[in-house]
Chains A and B, each alone.
Chain A
Amino acid sequence: MSDYSNLKTEEMVLNMGPQHPSTHGVLRLEIKLDGELIVEVKPHVGYLHRCFEKHCEAMTYPQIVPYVDRMDYLASMSNELGYAIAVERLMGIQVPERVEYIRVIMAELQRIASHMVALGTYGLDIGAFTPFLYLFADRERILSIFEETCGARLLYNYIWVGGLSHDLHPDFIRKAKEFVTYFRPKITELNNLLSYNKIFIERTANVGILPIETAINYGMTGPNLRASGLKWDLRRDDPYSIYDKFEFDIPIGKGWVGTLGDCWDRYFVRVLEMEQSLNILDQALAQIPEGDVTSAIPKRIKPAEGQIYTRVENPRGELGYFIVSKGGLQPHRVKVRPPSFISLGLMNELCKGHLVADVIAILGSIDIVLGEVDR
C-alpha cells in the first residue's frame, strides 16, 4: 500500500516570449507552473535596450527631445512634455500661455490615443477582435491631426524646451473640436462592444487583484494605481503646466463587476479617463489664447549646476525625469522613471496563484510599452 500524500507534482518552467504577440513587445516571462497554477513569474527585460541614458550624456539638451519620443512610442507627446518641463524648471523659463494650452491639448489627445491602443489590444489579447479595429480606426483620426500639425504620426519632436517647434495648423482647432464631438458617443459604443461583454468580464473580473497598500509600496502609478482605489493624479496632486485651470474628475476603481483593483477595474478606469480627457479638451479648445509659440525658446540651453526631479502624468503613470546638470551644454545625467518598468516589477505579485491563461489578462491590464521599459 503506497502513501500518495507525500508525492509532489513536478513544477514546470514555461517560457513565454520574447516573440509572443501578447507580450506587447519583446518581453520574456519565465513562468514556473504547478500544473496550471502559477508559482512564480520572472520577467526578463532588456531586449530593446538602446542606451538612452548614455546617449543623453553625449548630446545637448535640445538634441535629446527626439530620443525622448522613442521611449514610450505610444505617448511621445507626453514624454516630450515631461522632458520640456524638467529642463524649463531647471532653468527657470516661463513659457507663453498659448504654448501651455497647446501642450495640454496635445497631451490629452495623446492620452486618448494611447488608451485606445491599450484598450484595443487588451481586447485582442482576451480574444475580442472587433473593438481593436474600431479603436484603431478612431485613433487614426488623432494621428492625422498630429500629422497635420507636425508632420509625423508617432515620433513628433514637437514640444521643445521653452516652446513648440511651430504653431498650430490654421484648421487645427476646428478638427480637434470635431474629433471631440465625434468621439464622445464612441465611448458608449466601446462599452457596449467590449466593457460589458459577458465573456470579457468573465476573463477579467476578480483576476489579478491589486490591493492599495501593495500598489503604493511597489510604486504603481497612473490608471493602475487609481484602479486600486486611490485618488492620485499628478495633474491635480503635483500640478504642472496649466492643469489647475481645468475642471475634470479623477476616476477611480470601485470594483464594479468584481473585486476592487482587478483587471476589469484597471481596464475601465482607462475608459473613464478618456471621457475626462475629452472634458479637458473641450475647455482647452474653447479658451486657447493667441500668441507666439517660439518666443521663449532660449538660444543657448545651458542650465546652471544643479539637479531636478519632475514628473508628469503619462497615460501609463508617473513619468519622471531626474536631470543633473554640471553647468555644461550637455546634461551630466538624465535618469528616467518609466512607469511601465516599475509596473512590470509587480508581475510576480499579481500572477501568483492564478491560472496560466490569466497571465495574458494581467499583463495586458497593466499596459506596458517595452520601448519605455528598456529605453
Chain B
Amino acid sequence: MKSHEEIYNLLKEKFGDAIGQSITNLPVESFIEVSPLKIHEISYFLRDDNELLFDNLMLLSGLDDMNDKKVKQEDGSIVDVPGTLSVVYHIESTSLRHKIVLKCSCPKDKPEVESVNSIWRSADWNEREAYDMFGIIFLNHPDLRRILMPYDWEHGFPLRKDYKNPEFYQGMKVPY
C-alpha cells in the first residue's frame, strides 16, 4: 500500500514533465495533474508495475473547469479565452488496496485526450459518456459515438457550462 506522495514521486521520477503538480490543499481529495497525451503510457505503467498494480478504474469522469476568461486587449477590446475541460480518473488496486486520482486538462478548442480503453476496459463506456456530455475526443478509442443522448443530436455537448438549449429539436419547439 502506497501513499499519494509515494506514488507521485514514483511517477515524477519515471515520466518527468508529463506529470504536473500534485494538488493536496483541497479538502478531502488530492489529485495529480498529468499530461493528456501521455495518459496512456502512464496508465500502462500504473497497471503493470509490480509495486502499483492499479487494476481497477473505478470512475472516469469529464469535467468542465469553468475557467473561461475575458481578457482585455491593449486596444480596449475584450477577447474570450476558452477554458479547459478535464478528465478525472479514480483508480484503485484491488490487491494492494491503494488509490490514486489523476486529472488531465485539455483546452476547450482542441479537447483531445488519449484513450485508456485498452488498459482498463471499463473506460470504454465512460469515455463515450464523457465525449457525449463534454465533447472530449479520446484518441484511439475504437467506437467513440454518443451513448446517452440521441445519435442525431446536433446541438452541442450538454454538460459544458456554456451549453444553451436549442430552440428547435427535430422541428419541435423547445420547451414545447
Binding site for B on A (CB under 8 A): 45-46, 49, 51, 53-54, 57, 89-90, 92, 216-219, 230, 232, 237, 303-309, 311, 318, 320, 322, 324, 326, 332-333, 335, 337, 341-342, 344-345, 374-375
Contact = CB atoms under 8 A, between A and B. Distances in A.
B112 interface: no
Interface in B154-170: 158-159
Interface string B101-139: 100000000000000000011101110000001000000
The 8 closest A-B pairs by CB, nearest first: A219-B122, A306-B27, A335-B61, A46-B148, A306-B26, A345-B125, A337-B59, A308-B28
A308 B61 CA distance: 12
Contacts of B133: 53
A372 B113 CA distance: 27
How many chain B residues sit at the interface, stated as a range, is 20 to 34
B64 to A, nearest CB: 7
A318 B150 contact: no
Given A218-B122, A341-B125, 15 more contacts: A45-B147, A46-B146, A46-B147, A46-B148, A46-B149, A51-B158, A92-B27, A217-B55, A217-B121, A230-B94, A307-B31, A308-B29, A320-B90, A342-B125, A344-B125
Nearest to A309: B90
Given A324-B63, A332-B66, A374-B148, A307 B122 contact: no
B14 interface: no
B147 A306 contact: no
Nearest to B92: A238
Contacts of B97: 237
Nearest to A212: B94
B89 to A, nearest CB: 10
Given A90-B28, A306-B29, A326-B66, A45 B148 contact: yes
A51 to B, nearest CB: 7
B64 A309 contact: no
B18 interface: no
Contacts of A333: 61, 63-64, 159
Contacts of A304: 27
A341 B101 CA distance: 21
B57 A219 contact: yes
Interface in B63-90: 63-64, 66, 88, 90
Interface in B46-65: 55-59, 61-64
Contacts of A320: 58-59, 90
B48 to A, nearest CB: 12
Contact of B26 (A216, A219, A305, A341): A305
